[in-house]
Structure 1
Amino acid sequence: RIVSVARFLGKQGISFRGHNETEHSQNKGNFMECFNLLTKFDPLLQNYKAPSNCTYLSPSQNEVIQCCSEQVTFSIVSELKTSGIYATMADEARDKHKEQLALCVQHVVTATGSVKKHFLRFCDLKSFSAESITESVQHCLRDNGLEDLQCVAQTYDGASVMSGATGGVQAKFQQYHPEAIYVHCDAHQLSLVLCHMCKAIKAATDFFNTLENLYTFFSASLTHHKKNSVMFKLNLDYTRWSCQSRSINALLTNFTAIIQC
C-alpha cells in the first residue's frame, strides 16, 4: 500500500509532503491524506497499529521513491539490452541555480518493431564545455551498464558546443561510440526555420515588435494594468517558435480588451 500510494503520487506528479503534518493538522500532505482515505475502506489499515517511531515521512518516503526509481530504470535498461542498440537524446535543463543535462534514450522493441523513448536521468554538469558534457553523459551510461551497448545515434540542438564537428559533444561522444551519428533535433530545426523566416519578412518583424511594445505598455504602467487585466506574457525568444505562438494566442484571447484600452 505504501508503494502503491508512492507510485500514484509520482505518476501524477503530485508532491508528497505537506506544510503541517502534525497530528492535529487539517491537511497533512498528499501522502498521509491518501493513507487516511484508504484507511476508511481498507480493514487491514484500520486494524494496523504502526510503531510510535514509524511516521512514514522523510526519509522513509525518499527511500520508497528511490526504490521505485531504481526499478523503473532497471526495466528501461533491460529493454535497451534486449534491443541491442539504442540512441541518446540530451538537452540542458536548469533547476533553479543548478545546471543539469536531461538524458533520454530511444530504442526499437524487437517483438513489435515500435519505437520507444524513455527519460533515463538528470546528469549534473560541472561546466558547459564539450568535455564536461560528454563526460557527464558517458558517466550516466556507465552507471547504468550501457557503456558497452552499441549506440547508433545521438541527438542534440544546434548549439556549437553540442554540434561541433571537431570539438563538440557529438565528436567527443563518437570517440566512445564510433557508430553514433549526430542528428540535429528536427523540432529545433523547424523552430529555427520559422523564426528566421519571420525575421526575413518585414511585416512579420513589425508585427512581433508591436507585440513587444504592447507588453511593455501594459506591464510598465500600473494604471493601465489595473484598468485592463491583460495578463499575457510575451517572450520573443528567437530560438523557440513556441514562444511567439503563445504570444499570438494571448493577443487573440485579449484582443477586445486591448482595443478598448
Structure 2
Amino acid sequence: MIRDEIGDSKFAILVDGALDVSNTEQMAIIIRFVDREGILRERFFTVVSVTDTCSQTLMDKIIMVFAQYNLQLENIRGQGYDGASNMSGQINGLQALFQTECPYAYYVHCFAHRLQLSLNAAAKGVHDVWQFFSTLTMIVNFVDSSAKRHSMLKARREEEISDLVAAGTLETGSGKNQATTLQRAGATRWGLHLRSISSLLKLFKATQSTIDDLYLNGVDKVQGEAKAVGKALKKFDFVYCLHMMHDIMRTTDFLCQTLQKKDIDILNAIHSVSIVKTKLQDLRDKGWDNLIEKVTTFCCEHDISMPDMTAPYKKGRRDCEKDITNECYYRFNIFYCVIDFQLSELDSRFTENSKEILTLGASFDPRHNFRAFKREDVYKLAEKYYPQDFSLNDRRALDLECGFFVADVQKDSRFKNTTSVSHLCRRMFEFDKTWLYPMIYRLICLILTLPVSTATTERAFSSMNIVKSKLRNKMNDEFLDDLMVLYIERTFADSINNDDVVSEFELSGSRRVKFS
C-alpha cells in the first residue's frame, strides 16, 4: 500500500538502528515523500535485522528492501540519519555511499539529535548546572527506588492537595489535581529532563516531607542517605538551578516538540530554531528579575536559607572572580553563562542557513505574503541542485511560471494564512494550482522531501520493544520478526487510510493473522 502511495514520486529515506531484547541489531527504514494529494508523508516501511552497523552492510540491506518493492535508488532526494560516523561520514559513511549512486540524495543530520547534543553540551559547559542534574537524578532515584517510598510520596501529595483545595488555593474539576510521582530524566531524550524538573517543582513539598520522614523513622541504613539527600534538596544552589533550568528548558521544549512532527519541512524547522534563539535571548535580557523573584518566594514557602544577594560571594571557587557579590555570581556566572552556551551551541550545530540549497529554497516561504520569493533563486535551485528532475525545457517553463505564481497567490485570499511550505503544497493541490504551475509544484515537493529528524524511526523502535518482549523472544525468531513488522505497520496504518481497513498478512510458518 505504501509503495503504491509513493508511485513515481521522489522520496527521502530515514534510517536508524537499535538493539532489540535479544541483542539483535535492528534497522528501521522510513520513507518521506509528498503523496498524490500534496500531503507530506513519513511512512514506516520496514524493520530489518543486520549483522553489524558498518555503512556497507546497512546500504546492502536497504538496496535489498528497495529491490523487493521496486523502489529506484535514482529517485532518492534526501537522507536523514544521526551524526554517527558510520552514517554521516564524508568518505565511507552511509550518506556518502548513497550520494555516489545518487548525487542528488542530499544528507541532513537529524535536527532533534543536534538539539540533544546542543543542550547536553550546554549542561556540561557550566559546572553548577552539571552538578544540578546529578543532584536531581540522585533525589529522584532515592525517592522512587522502592514501592514503599513511592507510596509515601503519593500519600503526602494527596494530603497536600486536600489542604490546598480546602484552603481554596486549587481549583477542583475532572482531571485536575491528580496525584503524580517524580519523573526520571532520560539520557537520550532531553525533553524528559523538563518533565523531571517540572514534577519535582510540583511535588517539592511532598518530596521534602517524605525524605524527612525517612530520616526520622527509617531504618539506620536509610537514615544516612535520607539526611544527605534532604540536605542536597534544601541547598539554595539546587533550588536556584531548578527554577532557572525550568524557565530555559520550557523555551527549548517548543523546539523539541516541533522537530518531532511528521509534517514539518526543513525551512520551517530552521525558522523554529531562529524563534527559540530569539526567545532565549529575550530570557537572557529580561528574565533575571522574574527568576530571582520566583526563587525568593519559593525559598520562603519551603523554609530554605537564601543568601544575601548583595553580600560578597565566598565559596572559594577557582573559576570565580574575587570581590563579586552573590547576585553577580548567580546572574553572570550561571544564568547568563548557561544561555550563552546554548545560543553558541545552537549557532554552531544548526548551520543550515549557510547552505545554498536551503537559502534558495527559502524563496517558497509563504509567510509575510511570499515576500521572500525570488525568481532567480527558484531557477538556480532547479538548475544547480535538481538538474535530473528539470530538463532545459522544464527550467524555461519554470521561469515562465515564476512570473505569474507570486502575483496569483498574493491576490488569492485562500493563501493568506499559509504558514509553511508543506501547507502551501497542500493548498496548491486543494485549489487546483498544481496543473497551472506544475514545475513550481514539482520543485516544492523536492524541497519538502528533505528530511528534518528521525523521530519516526524512534516511534518504530518503541513499537518494536512492545512486540519483541522477553517472553515473545522465546518464540520462533522468523515468525516473531514477521509479527513485529506487522504490528508496527498497523501502528502507523492510521495515516494510510482513515477508513477501517481489514488487511491480511501472510506470515512465515503458514500462519495468517487478521487485523481490523
TM-score normalised by length of structure 1: 0.62
Q: Does 1:118 align with 2:67?
A: no
* Aligned match of 2:11: 86
Matched AA of 2:135: T
Matched AA of 1:255: F
* Aligned match of 2:103: 178
* Aligned match of 1:100: 26
Equivalent position to 1:247, from 182, 186, 196: 196
Q: Does 1:207 align with 2:156?
A: no
Preserved contact between residue 143 and residue 207 of structure 2 (Cα < 8 Å): no
Distance in 2 of aligned mates of 1:251 and 1:190: 24
What is the correspondence of 1:150-165 to structure 2 with a 5 Å cutoff? 150-165=75-90
Unaligned stretches of 5+ in structure 2?
155-179, 211-516
* Higher fraction of helix: 2
Distance in 2 of aligned mates of 1:199 and 1:122: 35
Preserved contact between residue 74 and residue 101 of structure 2 (Cα < 8 Å): no
Q: What are the superposed Cα offsets for residues 75-99 of structure 1, whole Å, 9 maximum, x if unpaired?
A: 221232232x110011113331232
In the TM superposition, residue 182 of structure 1 has moved relative to its aligned partner by 0.9
Question: What percent identity do the matched residue pairs reach?
Answer: 30
Q: 1:143 to 1:103 in 2, by over 3 A?
A: same
In the TM superposition, residue 240 of structure 1 has moved relative to its aligned partner by 3.1
Work out which structure has the larger RCO, using CA pairs closer than 8 Å and 6 or more positions apart in sequence.
2
Preserved contact between residue 5 and residue 36 of structure 2 (Cα < 8 Å): no
Q: 1:202 to 1:108 in 2, by over 3 A?
A: same
Unaligned stretches of 5+ in structure 1?
1-74
In the TM superposition, residue 236 of structure 1 has moved relative to its aligned partner by 4.4
Distance in 2 of aligned mates of 1:220 and 1:190: 30
Equivalent position to 1:232, from 182, 187, 195: 182
* Aligned match of 1:191: 116
Distance in 1 of aligned mates of 2:67 and 2:198: 44
Distance in 1 of aligned mates of 2:59 and 2:182: 39
Q: Secondary structure at the match of 2:2?
A: helix
Q: What are the superposed Cα offsets for residues 156-175 of structure 1, whole Å, 9 maximum, x if unpaired?
A: 01111111111211112223
* Aligned match of 2:68: 143
RMSD: 2.4
TM-score normalised by length of structure 2: 0.33
Q: Secondary structure at the match of 1:228?
A: helix
Distance in 2 of aligned mates of 1:216 and 1:249: 16
Preserved contact between residue 30 and residue 44 of structure 2 (Cα < 8 Å): yes
